[in-house]
Structure 1
């Protein structure tokens, strides 16, 4: 992995511009040491980015879908060509295992760009017809305009693609702020895009929470889209409401995995362990709560602990046996440690539970049993490699426990009873339900939740349509 210092900069109007605010340290989650620096964008930087996006919008809106598609295909090809470079940058920012990053994330980002390139030429609309005597009506699906976007640190490149690709495919222009701890792949993507897209179509501004607030509060964007915490989503929704902006929120999760007495544990155990601890559990769809029939509780706990010990080790990016890397930053490590320290007396840590080593932000795979439904660790998102286990006796109890949290993003059902699987896929109050699996997703299907997990969809044609608006045109035949 390259260790050459590289200072990311804003990309505004297709050009690198140094942010005009204070300079922040980029801290390695592997070592806890500074490996680079990043400037913070001020209100003036944000103004410049939105001015560039506004100037570019009329021309990009007028570009044919075929030309937008071609541009996204070229960007996908360029990302694929630079896959190893992007994996190096992503691993440096996040500490993720380097050996699997291309297959796990870079290739997915390439596929998502290509999906939305295809979607650019496949907008649906109601047929033109005479719905009133003497008039022909038809519907135009148009780009919204300038879009503001904020992405998180858990999947920096993937989350940027989820936001950028549908917005640009639909004919919008973008101002995006990546997380202040993981800026490199987003900036590099924008640098490459500057040679493919017209100036101002894609703009990236670096900064902290104040910079993100400046994006959201700015009068220019007509849509604000973020992936982040519930707290951040509420603040964005409140701010956007004052200017009647549209909002697209992909927020937290607290996904249950329901394991019934008839479940095939040979499939359920490795599936749940992978879904719980992949990316150090820093995934809003991660399996965080196992709900298991009481008759299989002890057996399942023993097997989960054994499988996690054998297959879910944390380690450095160059460790070939590491399944996941460190937590992203010191604040996140403290947050995860806090949940364990505050466990009530009736809870038991079956494995893990304390920081690993004194260098970097490593936390091992942790399984907690004996928890109750109103416990903090059951109700609140930990966003770390922590899995809780609860027992149930009846289907009704299992459903109540699963739905009894504020989040509603993802869930899974593990059973060999087909009718039960269908009932629970209907009754679970989550935006995605897997049956005998947990965590795989595809570009073609929508991703998004209900309740405190937000609203709006990423990926799929539904995610594409979120970046469009509808206009009715009615023409007199007289």
Structure 2
């Protein structure tokens, strides 16, 4: 089936009513189809392709063929194609936002239903646009009279990107961008729950990349295993649950395909006694409940110093009630449904455990929070439950937040580190010496001060312990030899209060904050509290990145993301 070319500028409309595989530059139908469900209405979404092993073979063969020429295209041309692709996504923002809302779910309040979907489109396109600055030249290790030693970065080959259901557009771009700019070919495998944006993203990509360079296959639970066991696959990037990630790694071990895993996280945030409560609380609400908590690096455990615990909890409850249960007048209303029935049942099970054990609830009712006839769950805040309770020990991936007291710094660090899902963590304090000290002791892939889940376009995204393996979001991930890649460290503003903007506005959706310090694999990201947001365009990035401060020793670590087990 013929596809639009870049001759139109790449902005001609896409048909968002039909969803085919894209193999070797062509739309390909399948004899059988499947569909997911709109989590807002529980009505069926459109039919999408149900791929077979033969489809996988064809896609991998096309990717292998395309690799021979794409890997030889100059880096500047590859980056230019990705930049034009990002602009085309922006041009079709409204179409992608509508589809994103239908497959991912909408907030309860009509006025907010498309606002956050539009922002995700902005973020996804901005992530791709930032890759125009990624360039990895040869590294001369020695150049003497007797010998010359050079490290050259060459493409891995055919990569497969597994995209989770909680962020089907942004994470699809994360799977596509770095491999493409570094000369690899990519086959995208979207989640069976949310295949639609990924399919249209790759259909759009055909206008900018040669046949076989970017492809997409959708399907059921069998598709992932066919990819991970295929001898023609050179690398797999998987975002999903820890349990499924282990199965991906086991399957890939048979062919020794390189594996990048971004898995679950039970992220703690530690609130110190010196914070400005009025300023910090809105930020915590956003970082715990945005997208109904269905974000890999959302705050999952909140530790508040005992001296301010009661006041902080009161403000937290008030702000959450205002944001999540308003009549739509609040600008930050962002509570939507749980995306699918399996995760909805898991959240309901955690709520039932709270009710069964009689834990004190500061907001909501665990017995009625899950709405009948939909996948909506009203926010629940649990007041100081036991440390070993399920609501503390397990990643919720829903709008349920345990709040716990602490008094001793070493003790709270021990409690925060008491998890195998160590994706992110944060410390909130006015005293930066304390922040640096506590950050250095937190065992997580990404650690922030006075911020949480704020990512930099040039910094790696990675986890620790069972939160994953290797890193994403930097060009070196898609190259061999892997080596070590030390990003520059950026100087932050001297303003250190906590007036961070809790939600990016529509004019500045791409969310970059300058960092005080940054490690690559175990990324310590100490953000300036002043929240200098800027758009991800060339002038702004060049102007705001700041001068390098120093190099840091890179620590070893994994990678992580998402939460709920989805099958291969």
Partner residue of 2:414 out of 397, 400, 417: 400
Partner residue of 2:204 out of 180, 187, 192: 192
1:324 matches 2:338: no
CA gap 1:450/1:49 in 2 versus in 1, 3 angstroms = same
> How far is 1:102 from its partner?
5.3
> How far is 1:321 from its partner?
7.2
Higher relative contact order (CA 8 A, sep 6+): 1
* 1:17 corresponds to: 28
For structure 1, which segment, 32-41 or 55-64, has the greater mean C-alpha deviation from structure 2 after superposition?
32-41
Which structure 2 segments of 5+ residues have no match? 1-14, 107-111, 484-568
Contact 1:139 1:471 in 2 (8 A): no
* Aligned equivalents of 2:476, 2:463: Cα separation in 1: 16
* Aligned equivalents of 1:346, 1:355: Cα separation in 2: 15
1:448 matches 2:483: no
1:108 matches 2:120: no
Alignment of 1:55-66 (within 5 A): 55-66=65-76
State the Cα deviation string for residues 281-337 of structure 1 (Å, max 9, x = none): 000100111111122222222211111000124999x99874121110111111101
Contact 1:346 1:370 in 2 (8 A): no
Partner residue of 2:142 out of 129, 154, 160: 129
For structure 1, which segment, 358-367 or 226-235, has the greater mean C-alpha deviation from structure 2 after superposition?
358-367
CA gap 1:315/1:144 in 2 versus in 1, 3 angstroms = farther
Contact 2:16 2:200 in 1 (8 A): no
* 1:81 corresponds to: 91
State the Cα deviation string for residues 333-380 of structure 1 (Å, max 9, x = none): 111010111236252222223345423210011111232222222122
Contact 1:365 1:386 in 2 (8 A): yes
- Count, aligned residues: 461
* Aligned equivalents of 2:57, 2:213: Cα separation in 1: 15
* Aligned equivalents of 2:303, 2:252: Cα separation in 1: 38
Contact 1:146 1:173 in 2 (8 A): yes
* 1:155 corresponds to: 167
1:90 matches 2:100: yes
Contact 2:230 2:255 in 1 (8 A): no
> How far is 1:471 from its partner?
9.7
Which structure 1 segments of 5+ residues have no match? 473-478
Query: 1:182 is paired with a residue of what secondary structure?
Result: coil
Query: 2:152 is paired with a residue of what secondary structure?
Result: strand
Contact 1:409 1:450 in 2 (8 A): yes
TM-align CA RMSD? 2.2
Contact 1:252 1:453 in 2 (8 A): yes
* Aligned equivalents of 1:417, 1:319: Cα separation in 2: 32
* 1:294 corresponds to: 306
Partner residue of 1:358 out of 352, 369, 372: 372
1:338 matches 2:349: yes
* 1:467 corresponds to: 478
Partner residue of 1:117 out of 132, 138, 141: 132
1:223 matches 2:223: no
For structure 1, which segment, 235-244 or 439-448, has the greater mean C-alpha deviation from structure 2 after superposition?
439-448
State the Cα deviation string for residues 119-176 of structure 1 (Å, max 9, x = none): 1xx1044216347x74332221000000111010111000000110001111000111
1:433 matches 2:447: yes
* 2:9 corresponds to: none
Larger % of strand: which?
Answer: 1
Query: 1:207 is paired with a residue of what secondary structure?
Result: coil
CA gap 1:5/1:439 in 2 versus in 1, 3 angstroms = closer
* Aligned equivalents of 2:105, 2:295: Cα separation in 1: 15
Larger % of helix: which?
Answer: 1
CA gap 1:255/1:404 in 2 versus in 1, 3 angstroms = same
> How far is 1:470 from its partner?
2.5
Normalization by structure 1: what TM-score?
A: 0.92
Query: 2:114 is paired with a residue of what secondary structure?
Result: helix
Contact 2:80 2:132 in 1 (8 A): yes
Normalization by structure 2: what TM-score?
A: 0.78
Contact 1:13 1:203 in 2 (8 A): yes
> How far is 1:465 from its partner?
0.4
Contact 1:226 1:233 in 2 (8 A): yes
* Aligned equivalents of 1:178, 1:198: Cα separation in 2: 21
1:279 matches 2:294: no
Query: 1:367 is paired with a residue of what secondary structure?
Result: strand
Contact 2:42 2:374 in 1 (8 A): yes
* 1:256 corresponds to: 268
1:420 matches 2:434: yes
Query: 1:138 is paired with a residue of what secondary structure?
Result: strand
Contact 1:313 1:323 in 2 (8 A): no
Contact 2:23 2:216 in 1 (8 A): yes
* 1:475 corresponds to: none
* Aligned equivalents of 2:479, 2:45: Cα separation in 1: 40
Contact 2:49 2:217 in 1 (8 A): no
1:201 matches 2:213: yes
Partner residue of 1:139 out of 151, 155, 180: 151
